[in-house]
Structure 1
């Protein structure tokens, strides 16, 4: 195990930095064996802090060459260096501190700080990677102006990039060249970036509303230059959207994006120089799916939006991470909704939240949106901080309405530009523009867990009154056994028997409104009485998923089918279908021969023949709940029972509705060229969903449809959909098509990731052994996070039956991989450990086997803080 238990850092212990660094001048000499980094720091005492006279700079894996203070070399007795930093005991009130260090990017497999990705130098400094580059106050509330000079071989590294605007470039006679970049805006060290390599770029420009021309450049390796157009179009759309919806213009002369193959995250918003995982830049119809195109659009927008919500205004400390991430996720969600199908986008957001964030809230990993403590900050880049954080911002927008919300963000940008602030500062802006008291609402930031709303209704026909009674409860989470009541925006509508919206007038109000009503649930038990209701309505609850809560309401099957057909809100329509399917599936887990209601099949039939609705929304409505989501609804997860129940229901629907499914499949065929627009994506989604039902028939004709679709090769979406269905089957064609796909795409790393994933997810008894063999494949590398996620991550988190095999082989496999990865890349290893965090949800035998793996990991000598924190918390009772 660790030699020393990692230190826990607490929000309550926050203190302002004793020193500030106003300017930073960096010089990099990039070499093939080592890199030299020289820094010049302008340091002064912080007038807002109590100063001790001792300066403690962060630094890890740095070899100190020289150190001087105000031009005077420091003697070894005047400073101390340890594994985590540099200490100078007698600091003047202000000074110039110069240092020269040696680092080894080529050996940096953790991909933090400066490292090599293939032949390219690149950086990742969030959260605490800059300390692996040079000595610094590596904390987000120390904001400095950076000037960066990069010197390198001009043949190997013709492109040298950093933050800000380029000042000059110099060619030297020794085959080297250097360029200097200056960023005029103060930023914390985590936003520093550097890239050097043999890159090509596509270029465009954008003119802001104030008339400024901004150069846009996307840099990639030469072989990928033809896959950048969608990313560039997405960037231009995002810039225009931010100007229109938030009044935010870009502020530098140039905006750059660089795609790299080895990256721990999706992308990074470094000021003016965004470094992206190539997965979220590169796309063509031949190599990328609809989901890839949508993901690129979303992530490009997300990182651009960070320019204001994260860069110009950043977080005071890492406990405030959701200040920038939750707000920016909400912004990118709304952007994507405007670019495509708003209803479908909302469903996708909710599905992710329910599958992952609700599960996190129900696990030992539960934590508030603003955590109280952490051991390793890398472990708090979670769905709670990001996705639930976005829902907390959305709730504020729901409570205020669009006009007041915009006034609140305008005030936020005006008041805090150039500062490092807190979530309280953001909420205070919303309170000021609205005149509301947000003290109760702020519990969403400080209390963990998913609130549950238990709802009952009462109709009094004589008085024409309809009452909804709402009781809220939030289960205990680690360290928080009792929760105070939340303020919950609860959007509802009432439908009459013909599916029409009923006028909504609360008792005591003068007028009725028609449509959605945003109720505010603020008490543990609360009643809302509507008057003038002349028939028993069917309530549409939590429209638009107006708050991240669970709703319990005793709908009849008939009411759910009614909502599936008549409800105008896309989320509620989908949720009704999910709830009804969930009832049937869980009942058949316990009783496999339980009857499938004819009304459910007929509701499916009606949806299949609906050619008027949004096809993408129909595809969502007709998709059964996932196995993992069904498991979350059970007290004890029945892995085999859930899988059997879901597969048998799909087969029943396919047998009963074969003609309708075939008709849907053929009617949504298009010979037109590929376009990633909402309508085309919807048609492909619905067509491939129909095929996924039909394949359950084990009909040679359906198998041939899959083979034909694969060989037609119209686009990667259709090719991959067909291949994944064939790969599930024990037929000769499966191996033939997999080999054909490999031979065609073996030189494209991102397409190979898809090839790995579909085999890892295959519903076959030999999948684990296949995964183990694929780890030896020349296209796989344990050092590449994308490869790890596409094969190991996909199997362990996405293949429930395979991973949770009764003999524990899946758990043993994951334990082995975690320990193997931890020595290379602790961030990736800790994310893998999380897969076993909910071990107590399973039967006793599986519990014991997962627990044994977690204990084995904890007992291993020298494990990282990242893995120690997740494994130890997972084992807490």
Structure 2
């Protein structure tokens, strides 16, 4: 996949396969240096297709034999493919292939590779072709029977998809296991594992009375960290059967944890392979965030069993068919598991923060693409926030437009129509609409599908006019969407706007539209904006209203509501929608940060803002988890996205100044919060406990920040004592973070002690590396520390988790440390991208994405960033993955310039 092999794949060029593979018999003789793979493929011609050669994908394989119907057949190699120009003329024939591959040299972690002396696979998107020759495309679905043979002492556990049908001993200390998956699946869902593992097992009985075996496999020594993953799996199974009537469909369901993995996890049918980060957890080694992450990712991969496996995507342009829908499902699961309305809102806030931090910049940059992309060079580059998070928002808007029950009916129809098929995003949208005739979605379906076809984040401008004499309030909404690469003009989107109106004392007002009967009035309703501009008039309002728009973030748009600070303060204090309550506080902070960062105002927090934050912190009924989110200033990256020209050092200085002001002015309040939010009962990763720990950790960080600036040793000392005495990782890491982020003298001995305590735990050491790389920059020390940590004995670029913990933490999450006036950060980035690309192009491409938004930078950063990107682009043997990223970043055509 190096220079010279890249070609553009276009959605409009899709053709159904001329050949299909109906059944697959695979046999593996597993050895690290040379694994032999024998395949027996039952192939069918499409009777409607013209006669043509059979082309099987392959990459990095050594071909040993090819037989068609038991006879030798002539073949050739072309662009890595195995081409049989004259396959048998039978409507159905058998093709036998024997080849070898070298798992131990597979540093790309795509296909069959070794990790910690075991064999693992990752086949999505195009990894199966690195195992054997095949029609490696998602619309070719086959039933698999797989036999694994390996040394029993080294690899006592042999796993593949589906159900175990046979196992036994072989000569020479080897053994075998035979697996059969009764459900047709594309090759990207194939999996095998051969390793020395142990399993937590649980038998459950589902609603249909069938018994199922659940297994979580980990390396020896980690079994005590699997209880939460198992509980999460059981909860996911129960939820999916309850909410959508989707049952577990195999005799067993397996999860396997592996340390070397490019992704978070993979939904292979019945055999999910996970990054250890999303399986292993104990109170001593994992934070509350880790526990919630495991619950979410386990749910996501399990939910794929239906939304991705039973019904899969026709081609990779339809990736959001499975990923956007399944992200929506795991978000709904997480909210349902959270409990009350406030806790559900916290989950929603966290999802929106992620969307704004990653997807909004993507929509505004050179990699902007629709939820259903039109073309790609490397499909691995399109596992993006647009496909996943924005795709989930598109599904959520459908849910809003048809209602909870209507959406469930649409899901039922979707599976009735398409179970066992490879389909498109249009097929899904059609099923939801057809199950809800007359709904707001059904009558606007063609227009709604623009969300799949158009890139960019729409801006909705809202302005209202109140007539006190008539009690009428007219709300006018306008939408526009900036040009993006390849799409200079956008048509209006269908945008559901959930809204309410409040009086200035916070009382919710009843919403009655002009021409409606008074009985139709309610405190909240959904307006559907589908034109460039529309107006709605509400009647019988007895007070000047404050609009609360886009409640629950009902559409993935940028809202310009034109509200004053006084109106935002009303929403912050009284809005019944918790998301908009949080949003009002963020908008108040953001306006002050942006004004100071752009030089229009001093970096000063006024009394009204300070008092509003104090009121939130001291509020008697708000959840602690909500307070912790509301009291955090918007990130430096999010502030940068609001500015036309970005000076990262200026933004950092302004934000740190305002954090210090919050620490100072709320000092007594932070002490109160620290004392009143301690968790004294035994550790449980519950929403209530986690919220209290989060707020206590934030309070401790603010107290240490104030102490460091006032040369007061008390709170750093208390943080160090907390670090030593903590009974769980959330509190221990929170105390360590407070020391590191405030640059306290005790940070160094605490970091050394932390490493000493956990040097044998890879996931905890990832936290240790990440914490140092994300520390607020101070006199260039953070950048220098990261460079030194590259040489640490525990650091390795070959492990994606470890590389992400250090390099991504610096370049993605620490703008001031990375964007240096001397350009050293950009030189560092370019060196690492090229170094990693030689081993793992997928990981390198993700690191390359750091520079997507370089055009927004002020000088001298901008020109230095351009030079670094050009240096990467000039490397002759660059992978297609990285080349696509950097060439898009450098593109200087009119549409790219317009997008910037």
TM value normalised by structure 2: 0.96
**Corresponding residue of 2:144:** 146
Please state how far the C-alpha of 1:595 moved relative to its aligned partner.
4.5
Give the Cα–Cα distance (whole angstroms) in 1 for the partners of residues 746 and 872 of structure 2. Answer: 40
**Corresponding residue of 1:259:** 257
**Corresponding residue of 1:518:** 526
Please state how far the C-alpha of 1:51 moved relative to its aligned partner.
3.1
3-state SS of 2:531 partner = coil
| Structure 1 range deviating more: 422-431 or 650-659 | 650-659
* The one of 218, 221, 226 aligned to 1:220: 218
Contact 2:603 2:658 in 1 (8 A): no
**Corresponding residue of 2:473:** 466
| Structure 1 range deviating more: 608-617 or 133-142 | 608-617
| Structure 1 range deviating more: 23-32 or 492-501 | 492-501
2:34 paired with 1:25:
no
Residues 419-474 of structure 1 show CA distances to partners (whole Å, capped at 9, x for unaligned) of 00000000101121222230000000000000000110000111111111000000
Residues 318-346 of structure 1 show CA distances to partners (whole Å, capped at 9, x for unaligned) of 00000000000000000001111210000
Contact 2:704 2:742 in 1 (8 A): no
| Structure 1 range deviating more: 543-552 or 429-438 | 429-438
2:43 paired with 1:43:
yes
Give the Cα–Cα distance (whole angstroms) in 1 for the partners of residues 888 and 51 of structure 2. Answer: 35
Give the Cα–Cα distance (whole angstroms) in 1 for the partners of residues 317 and 2 of structure 2. Answer: 25
What 5-or-longer segments of structure 2 have no aligned partner?
Answer: 893-900
Please state how far the C-alpha of 1:811 moved relative to its aligned partner.
0.6
**Corresponding residue of 2:80:** 84
Please state how far the C-alpha of 1:627 moved relative to its aligned partner.
0.6
Contact 1:60 1:83 in 2 (8 A): no
Give the Cα–Cα distance (whole angstroms) in 1 for the partners of residues 105 and 781 of structure 2. Answer: 36
2:486 paired with 1:507:
no
**Corresponding residue of 1:357:** 359
Residues 65-111 of structure 1 show CA distances to partners (whole Å, capped at 9, x for unaligned) of 1111101123xxx1002452100011223210001101000000000
Count of residue pairs the alignment pairs up: 873
1:371-390 maps to which residues of 2 (within 5 A)? Answer: 371-390=373-392
| Structure 1 range deviating more: 862-871 or 204-213 | 204-213
**Corresponding residue of 1:567:** 575
**Corresponding residue of 2:59:** 60
**Corresponding residue of 1:10:** 10
Please state how far the C-alpha of 1:670 moved relative to its aligned partner.
2.0
Residues 24-47 of structure 1 show CA distances to partners (whole Å, capped at 9, x for unaligned) of 000000013210000000001024
2:769 paired with 1:760:
no
Give the Cα–Cα distance (whole angstroms) in 1 for the partners of residues 808 and 523 of structure 2. Answer: 43
Give the Cα–Cα distance (whole angstroms) in 2 for the partners of residues 369 and 805 of structure 1. Answer: 34
Please state how far the C-alpha of 1:512 moved relative to its aligned partner.
3.2
Residues 94-132 of structure 1 show CA distances to partners (whole Å, capped at 9, x for unaligned) of 210001101000000000000001111000000000000
Residues 270-289 of structure 1 show CA distances to partners (whole Å, capped at 9, x for unaligned) of 00000000000000000001
**Corresponding residue of 1:304:** 302
Give the Cα–Cα distance (whole angstroms) in 2 for the partners of residues 695 and 646 of structure 1. Answer: 17
Give the Cα–Cα distance (whole angstroms) in 1 for the partners of residues 3 and 311 of structure 2. Answer: 38
1:266-415 maps to which residues of 2 (within 5 A)? Answer: 266-340=264-338, 341-415=343-417
Please state how far the C-alpha of 1:723 moved relative to its aligned partner.
0.9
Please state how far the C-alpha of 1:591 moved relative to its aligned partner.
5.0
Give the Cα–Cα distance (whole angstroms) in 2 for the partners of residues 336 and 410 of structure 1. Answer: 21
TM value normalised by structure 1: 0.98
Residues 568-595 of structure 1 show CA distances to partners (whole Å, capped at 9, x for unaligned) of 1111011000000111122222156355
Give the Cα–Cα distance (whole angstroms) in 2 for the partners of residues 546 and 30 of structure 1. Answer: 51
Please state how far the C-alpha of 1:3 moved relative to its aligned partner.
4.1
3-state SS of 1:659 partner = helix
1:329-728 maps to which residues of 2 (within 5 A)? Answer: 329-340=327-338, 341-435=343-437, 436-437=442-443, 438-510=445-517, 511-589=519-597, 590-591=599-600, 593=602, 595-697=604-706, 698=708, 699-728=712-741
What 5-or-longer segments of structure 1 have no aligned partner?
Answer: none
**Corresponding residue of 1:836:** 851
Give the Cα–Cα distance (whole angstroms) in 2 for the partners of residues 500 and 143 of structure 1. Answer: 57
Please state how far the C-alpha of 1:364 moved relative to its aligned partner.
0.5
2:231 paired with 1:233:
yes
Q: What RMSD in Å do the two structures reach over aligned CA positions? A: 1.2
| Structure 1 range deviating more: 757-766 or 443-452 | 757-766
2:863 paired with 1:848:
yes
Residues 828-862 of structure 1 show CA distances to partners (whole Å, capped at 9, x for unaligned) of 00000100111001013211111111111111111
Please state how far the C-alpha of 1:4 moved relative to its aligned partner.
2.3
Please state how far the C-alpha of 1:695 moved relative to its aligned partner.
2.0
Give the Cα–Cα distance (whole angstroms) in 2 for the partners of residues 316 and 328 of structure 1. Answer: 16
**Corresponding residue of 1:131:** 129
2:240 paired with 1:242:
yes
Please state how far the C-alpha of 1:562 moved relative to its aligned partner.
1.2
Residues 571-630 of structure 1 show CA distances to partners (whole Å, capped at 9, x for unaligned) of 101100000011112222215635532111111111111131111111111111111101
Please state how far the C-alpha of 1:706 moved relative to its aligned partner.
1.3
Contact 1:605 1:657 in 2 (8 A): yes
3-state SS of 1:555 partner = coil
Give the Cα–Cα distance (whole angstroms) in 2 for the partners of residues 545 and 52 of structure 1. Answer: 52
Contact 1:33 1:104 in 2 (8 A): yes
Contact 2:758 2:765 in 1 (8 A): yes
Q: Is the alpha carbon distance of 1:83 and 1:103 closer, same or farther for their aligned partners in structure 2, counting shifts above 3 Å?
A: farther
Contact 1:66 1:99 in 2 (8 A): yes
3-state SS of 1:33 partner = coil
